[in-house]
Amino acid sequence: MELLMQKLCMGKDLGIHGNLFGGIMLAWIDEAAASYAAAICHSPNMVTVKIDEVNFKKPVKIGFQIRIYGDVEKVGNTSITLNIEARKYNVYSAEETLVCTTKIVFVRIDEAGEAIPIPQPVRERYNAT
Ligand SMILES: CC(C)(COP(=O)(O)OP(=O)(O)OC[C@H]1O[C@@H](n2cnc3c(N)ncnc32)[C@H](O)[C@@H]1OP(=O)(O)O)[C@@H](O)C(=O)NCCC(=O)NCCS
């Protein structure tokens, strides 16, 4: 998996239990994955169509770094599916712990918001095995 984004868990990101708020984590994942999908598909016009089941496996406390990783699961005609992992990083021990996993699907759209094909070379690159 590739490192897509790093964030620092700050006070403003916490929920009432003192853990990183789930909705903040989802926003980070969506942003990191959208940026990755745009780069892979050579188009900034990628919209999120589905975020799969999200498993929050471990709490994240203030001061931890969050590293968001991703890879391409598949590229369809107009859609791309990414596997995403968020890991917390302990700067003292350099240890990474998996905190959250999901899959996320983006669709390439035109100016009218209609789905349009992802460029053929991208589809061939990720589907040729
Ligand atoms: C993205 C959008 C244009 C797709 O329109 P649509 O009529 O569903 O288009 P299609 O049925 O042709 O599907 C387009 C692609 O998305 C995929 N797709 C659509 N819904 C999906 C779902 N729930 N799960 C997985 N893939 C899905 C289809 O399989 C298809 O992929 P393919 O071309 O690679 O085979 C439309 O759903 C939309 O505008 N959604 C809102 C996007 C948005 O605002 N996102 C921000 C979230 S707040």
Does residue 48 have its Cβ closer than 6 Å to ligand 1? yes
Q: Ligand 1 centre and the CA of 107: distance in Å?
A: 6
Domain that holds residue 71: 2-127
Spatial CA neighbour of 90 closest among 123, 117, 58, 121: 58
Under the banding of pLDDT at 50, 70 and 90, the label for residue 92 is confident
Give the count of domains, the chain: 1
Does residue 41 have its Cβ closer than 6 Å to ligand 1? no
Give me the mean pLDDT over the 42-58 stretch.
96
Does residue 78 have its Cβ closer than 6 Å to ligand 1? yes
Per the listing, tokens 């094909």 go with 117
Q: pLDDT at position 48, please? A: 98
pLDDT (tens digit per residue) in 8-31: 999 999 999 999 999 999 999 999
Does residue 109 have its Cβ closer than 6 Å to ligand 1? yes
> The pTM is what?
0.95
Per the listing, tokens 């035109």 go with 110
Phi-psi region of 69 (alpha: psi -120 to 50; beta: other; left: phi over 0): beta
CATH code, domain carrying 107: 3.10.129.10
Q: Ligand 1 centre and the CA of 118: distance in Å?
A: 13
